[in-house]
Structure formats: structure tokens, C-alpha cells
Amino acid sequence: MALDRDAFKQVMGRWTTGVTIVTARAGDAIHGMTVSAFTEVSLEPPLVLVCADKSSNTHPLIAEGGVFAVNILARNQAALSDKFASKQDEHLRFEGVDWTMAETGSPILPDTVAALDCRVHAAHESGDHVIYLGEVLWTRCDPDKSVLLYSSGTYGDFKA
Ligand SMILES: Cc1cc2nc3c(=O)[nH]c(=O)nc-3n(C[C@H](O)[C@H](O)[C@H](O)COP(=O)(O)O)c2cc1C
């Protein structure tokens, strides 16, 4: 029985996630994109995963540099999510963003809920995406900020 792809997309769209911006560095080059496919994998050793579309610009940079950072967006950062997801002016994504550099060299974005600096532990090609497992080397968290949510193509947040 052939799978109805639109139905599959609709189902996965109903799954509610947080929103992150995954950043990467290889040499002098930096880039980043909005990613919702992020989850914790292991506590010992500390591992997380992100799924990157093979056709994205970010994927080859992670592959080349072997590092990435996950920036977990706050409820008021939907515009930043859109900026890092847009295919327009993608080389200008960091313009006007007061980012700092993690130890691995990956950009850390300001005013987020949390950030994790990671070294690639393993990469698994899976269909049109690559699953990057990252060993977490450093974290930062602002417990007073609440996360941006994404469901059915719409942003939201937890009611306080
Ligand atoms: C809320 C949201 C979540 C997204 N999640 C992912 C994801 O998990 N993995 C992915 O590869 N792209 C994801 N995207 C799409 C990328 O952000 C988008 O294709 C981006 O333009 C890729 O940038 P790049 O090609 O310059 O790296 C998401 C977009 C949005 C708006």
C-alpha cells in the first residue's frame, strides 16, 4: 500500500516542537538554520541529535567542521526563526545579530532560552536528511525565559 505523502506531512505537522537555530562553523565560514528536529539522546555520554536536510547549506558545514551549536529560541523570537528559515538573503542571516563564539567556534545567538555547543559524535544518512548526533561540550540556560513552540505551521508558547 503506497503511503499518502500529504497525509504523512499533515500528521508530522501536528507534532508540536520547540524551535532551535542550529549553527555551524568550518574554518572562517559560519552558517545556521531553523531546526525543530532536535532531541536529547543520551545522558552518559551527553548526546543530542539534530536532523539536517541534505539540500540545506548548513548540512555540508556541519559535515566539514564537525561541530554545531543548538540555540533554543524564546517565545519572542519567532522573527529570528523565520529569518533563519527563509531562502531569501540566507547569507545575511547573522547580520544585526549580536552573536558570540562557542569554544568549538559555532555561533551562539543572544537572548535565547538555552544553548548547547556540540562536537559531531556520529552522522547517519537517513533518506533526504542526515541525523547528526552531537556530544554536548557546554551549555547555557536562562531559566526565566520560556520556549517558542511550533505546531501545524504556527508559532505559539506556553501560557504562563
Ligand atoms: C519551524 C521550522 C522548523 C524547521 N526544522 C527543520 C529541521 O528540523 N531540519 C531541517 O533540515 N530544516 C528545517 N527547517 C527548514 C530550514 O530552516 C530551511 O530550509 C532553511 O532555509 C535551511 O537553510 P540553509 O539551506 O541555508 O541551511 C525548519 C523550518 C522551520 C520554519
Summarised one tens digit per residue, pLDDT across range 1-38 is: 899 999 999 999 999 999 999 999 999 999 999 999 99
pLDDT-derived band at 159 (thresholds 50, 70, 90) equals confident
**Whole-number pLDDT of residue 3:** 96
How many C-alpha atoms does 157 have within 13 Å on its Cβ side?
Answer: 13
**pTM beyond 0.95, yes or no:** yes
Tens digits of per-residue pLDDT, 131-140?
999 999 999 9
Question: What is the share, in percent, of the chain residues with pLDDT greater than 90?
Answer: 98
With CA atoms as reference, report the closest residue to 51 among 126, 121, 149.
126
Instruction: Output the CA 33–ligand 1 centroid distance in Å.
Output: 6
Residue 18 is placed in which grid cell? 520547540
Residue 118 has pLDDT above 80, yes or no: yes
- Helix/strand/coil for 92: helix
Residue 13 C-alpha from the chain's centroid: 17
- CB crowding 57-86: b at 16 or more within 10 Å, else e: bbbbbbbebbbbbbbbbbbebbebbebbee
Residue with cell 561541530: 67
Closest Cα to atom 16 of ligand 1: 85
Closest Cα to atom 6 of ligand 1: 35
Tens digits of per-residue pLDDT, 71-101?
999 999 999 999 999 999 999 999 999 999 9
